[in-house]
Amino acid sequence: MTSTRTGSAPVEASPSAFPTGFLWGAATAAYQIEGAVDVDGRSPSIWDTFSRTPGRTAGGDTGDRATEHYHRYRQDVRLMSELGLGAYRFSVSWSRVQPTGRGPAVERGLDFYRRLVDELLEHGIQPAVTLYHWDLPQDLEDLGGWPARDTAERFADYAALLADALGDRVGIWTTLNEPWCSAFLGYGSGVHAPGRADWTAALRAAHHLNLGHGRAVEVLRASLPRDARIAVSLNLHEVRPLTASAADREAARRIDAVGNRVFTGPMLGGGYPDDLLADTEHLVDWQDLVHDGDLAAIARPVDLLGVNYYTPTVVSALPHGQDPGSATASEAGHGDGAQSPFVGCADVLFHRAPGPRTVMGWPIDPSGLTDLLLRLHREHPGLPLMVTENGAAFDDRPTAEGSVHDPQRIDYLRGHLDAVRRAIAAGADVRGYFLWSLMDNFEWAWGYGKRFGLYYVDYATQARTAKDSARWYAEVIRRNTLPDLPG
């Protein structure tokens, strides 16, 4: 989302308590934690293929074992219970449920999620299901993947199977996680599975992810109980121009179009924005891509908008005469691909703000979260928001006694929770916060080296150890407030 301010949000400090009923959660995703990739009928997804391709992930890491959550889920639910979580956001592995991406469900695959959900409910933790967190069945990729329209229809069928299996026990449903990453990192820059670098394919993927979302909302709405809440989680970019110059503001507008409004436009009822269509008409034939009825299907209302936020995005225009090359987006924090993931924006430069960063290299700036939530509140009044991901990776190391002290993560979380609190005080309707992540896990192309968890995972033994931040977060949850901020 664009904003011309670069400082912190102009919002008064507020009482330190969160609203009554505020939902405190933690998040994970199937491929990052489950392991057990070849049991109970599961077939490969694009992430199995990608991570097994030499050179694609750091150290050649794969999700083959991950944190063995598939077999250790009971123990992991106990950890959640120790934290006092009100909700747990996890994703379903499509290729566990429908190995080829089509046809009847595999009951053994569904049974794992039934057992997990039952375990959560027994511990008083609300399950929040994400249907798709990037792991397309490889068979569907072989038929064209998200650039192919049929994938959207397959996704709706898969959503129906899940609604049927878990609809009686799951109250929060998220269709897609971060479709921007699926479309533009997967098919645009190629740093994520399936590793294609083709801007036209990326825009086609974006439209079919939008369509798949809309079709899934329709299916879920028709089969879930009335009080089920349906959402989508977007990694919206808080885009800030480096300077107030017209050229930098124009760069920010373009990144906002291909980074944010390509999803928020159609999903929230406004269609594809005219400026996006104009910016990308040389890459894709939108008339051909968007069929009659698609926009109405995509615009089916959601009950909650999930917001994933880690760091702001600072951009400027490439000075005249400079060769764009492929490195312009390397400072955007999305890995170095064959070309920018921001389609058609090879001439936009990205900058990392000075100051503290996480080990992902992402500058730490909580004001971006406040600004983002307030923009959504302004532009989509009445739409309840939920922070569905926020967190930080640091170089956590156990001490000789086995403790894991992570004061930087606590600082990060304190700052960002305060940012949420400020947005709420200024009127944003934020219903909950899901911390990324419950435990260290497979951080996609970065492998196991980046640790985001509240629980430290020793990958040799699979032992989980609460970091200091886990105890701190448990205290936040217990008190429904930020304990160490002045009220």
Question: Which listed range, 176-184, 193-201, 236-244, 260-268, lies at the site for ligand FCB (CB under 6 A)?
Answer: 176-184
The one catalytic residue in 34, 119, 141, 389 is 389
Using a 10 angstrom Cβ sphere, with 0-12 exposed, 13-18 middle and 19 or more buried, the burial of residue 71 is: middle
Interface with ligand FCB: number of residues (CB under 6 A): 12
- Which long-range contacts link 297-301 to residues 24+ away (Cβ below 8 Å)? 297/211, 297/214, 297/215, 297/218, 298/210, 298/211, 298/213, 298/214, 298/266, 298/267, 299/214, 299/266, 299/267, 299/268, 299/269, 299/271, 300/214, 300/217, 300/218, 300/221, 301/217, 301/269
Q: Which of 214, 182, 207, 175 is nearest to 291 (CA)?
A: 207
Q: How far is the CB of 235 from ligand FCB (least distance, A)?
A: 5
Q: How far is the CB of 146 from ligand FCB (least distance, A)?
A: 16
Angle at 230 between CA 239 and CA 372, to 5 degrees: 15
Detail the DSSP E strand segments found in 309-407.
313-317, 348-351, 385-389
Measured from the CB atom, the residue of 143 and 359 that comes closer to ligand FCB is 359
Measured from the CB atom, the residue of 30 and 36 that comes closer to ligand FCB is 30
- Which long-range contacts link 140-143 to residues 24+ away (Cβ below 8 Å)? 140/100, 140/101, 140/102, 141/46, 141/49, 141/194
Q: Is residue 413 within the footprint of ligand FCB (CB under 6 A)? A: no
Q: Is residue 443 within the footprint of ligand FCB (CB under 6 A)? A: yes
Q: Is residue 189 within the footprint of ligand FCB (CB under 6 A)? A: no
Question: Which listed range, 59-67, 173-181, 269-277, 427-435, lies at the site for ligand FCB (CB under 6 A)?
Answer: 173-181
Please state whether the peptide bond connecting residue 437 to the residue before it is cis, i.e. omega within 30 degrees of 0: yes
Read out DSSP for 215-276?
A: HHHHHHHHHS-TT-EEEEEE----EEESSSSHHHHHHHHHHHIIIIIHHHHHHTTS-S-HHH
Q: How far is the CB of 250 from ligand FCB (least distance, A)?
A: 27
Q: Is residue 34 within the footprint of ligand FCB (CB under 6 A)? A: no
Q: How far is the CB of 466 from ligand FCB (least distance, A)?
A: 20
Q: Which of 444, 448, 472, 473 binds ligand FCB (CB under 6 A)?
A: 444
153 is catalytic: no
Q: How far is the CB of 134 from ligand FCB (least distance, A)?
A: 7
Q: How far is CA 322 from CA 63, 258, 318, in A?
A: 41, 22, 7
250 is catalytic: no
Measured from the CB atom, the residue of 63 and 273 that comes closer to ligand FCB is 63
Q: Is residue 389 within the footprint of ligand FCB (CB under 6 A)? A: yes
Q: How far is the CB of 142 from ligand FCB (least distance, A)?
A: 24
Q: Is residue 29 within the footprint of ligand FCB (CB under 6 A)? A: yes
Q: Which of 251, 264, 229 is nearest to 319 (CA)?
A: 251
Distance CA 290, CA 465 (A): 49
Distance CA 193, CA 419 (A): 33
Q: Which of 93, 175, 235, 340 binds ligand FCB (CB under 6 A)?
A: 235
The one catalytic residue in 34, 119, 141, 178 is 178
| All residues at 6 or more sequence positions from 254 whose CB lies less than 8 Å from its CB, including other chains | 275, 279, 342, 344, 345, 348
Q: How far is the CB of 312 from ligand FCB (least distance, A)?
A: 15
Q: Is residue 61 within the footprint of ligand FCB (CB under 6 A)? A: no
Q: Which of 132, 433, 452, 455 binds ligand FCB (CB under 6 A)?
A: 452
For the chain, what is the total number of helices (H) and then of strands (E)?
17, 13
Measured from the CB atom, the residue of 29 and 136 that comes closer to ligand FCB is 29
User: What 8-state DSSP symbol labels residue 445?
Assistant: G
DSSP 3-state of 357? strand
Measured from the CB atom, the residue of 109 and 306 that comes closer to ligand FCB is 306
Measured from the CB atom, the residue of 295 and 419 that comes closer to ligand FCB is 419
Q: How far is the CB of 153 from ligand FCB (least distance, A)?
A: 24
Q: Is residue 178 within the footprint of ligand FCB (CB under 6 A)? A: yes
Residue numbers 78-137 binding ligand FCB by CB under 6 A: none
Q: Is residue 436 within the footprint of ligand FCB (CB under 6 A)? A: yes
Question: Which listed range, 106-114, 174-182, 203-211, 415-423, lies at the site for ligand FCB (CB under 6 A)?
Answer: 174-182
Residues identified as active-site: 178, 389
**Which residues contribute to the site for ligand FCB (CB under 6 A)?**
29, 32, 177-178, 181, 235, 308, 389, 436, 443-444, 452
